[in-house]
Amino acid sequence: MSGLAVVTGASSGIGREYARRLASTGVNLIAVGRRRERLEELATEFPDVSVQPVVADLSMRDGIETVIDAVAAQPVTMLINNAGVAHYKAFIDLPREQAEELVGVKVLAPTLLTNAIAPHMVARNAGQIVNVAGMIAFSGPASLEEVPLRRAVYASSLAYAVAFSQTLHAELSPHGIHVQVLLPGVVATEFHERQGMDLSAAPRMSAADVVTASLRGLELGEIVTAPGVEQDNLLHSVFTADLVAFGAQAPELATRYRE
């Protein structure tokens, strides 16, 4: 492989594994994260490729602009929107600043970075965009008995990534660009520890397996990649049902809403 990949959240977890895997195959990196020493370790580990560390907090508009400036006019061939933050809390207990941070990292940052990079991919008629979300994007209908985790803003931000990726792929695929949304379950990284959550007893997938699934999914042409779902027809059923409901609308008021 060759090319230039932008990886956000590259200082730990899934993002770091993406960076290491891509660099090991000869891909140059723009590695984005909050911890400079972690990003510089990547440059030391892979001296045969170019690793440009970009220290930025993607929950802040200034941080997003820092990355946009760093990638401007560069021949980016792959964008990995991976940066994450959780803040699992009941909605009424979620401080405004944490809500802003969550939406900034998981919605605004990937949207604006993609907006900055995609036109250059279109001009070259090639590129790959991966938006890392999670299976919890499908948890909206679950009761608190089924999924006790308070997650209204977090789950909805991941659901945005699913719809964003699917609709964006439809727009950009005629221009040679493939968009993938990656939906891991619980992964063995520092992510939950930084939120003060101990999930060591829960079955967890490795970050390496998650990245393996993503890269293989790109080879298979998948738009939605769920590393831990064996029966991919389940995903197809969900999206087919979505389209059936979408297509069933009519300009007349449904009977149940009439007096």
User: If you write DSSP's letter for every residue of the chain in order, what string do you get?
Assistant: --SEEEETTTTSHHHHHHHHHHHHTT-EEEEEES-HHHHHHHHHH-TTS-EEEEE--TTSHHHHHHHHHHHTT----EEEE---------GGGS-HHHHHHHHIIIIIHHHHHHHHHHHHHHHHT-EEEEEE--GGGG-TT--TTT-----HHHHHHHHHHHHHHHHHHHHHGGGTEEEEEE---SBSSSTTGGGT---TTS--B-HHHHHHHHHHHHHHT-SEE-TT-S-HHHHHHHHHHHHHHHHT--SSPPGGG--
pLDDT per residue over 4-47, tens digit each?
A: 999 999 999 999 999 999 999 999 999 999 999 999 999 999 99
Q: What is the pLDDT of residues 203-228, one digit of tens each?
A: 679 999 999 999 999 999 999 999 99
pLDDT the model gives residue 143:
87
Given a cut of 70, whether residue 1 has pLDDT beyond it is no
Tens of pLDDT, residue by residue over 159-208, are: 999 999 999 999 999 999 999 999 999 887 666 566 666 666 666 799 99
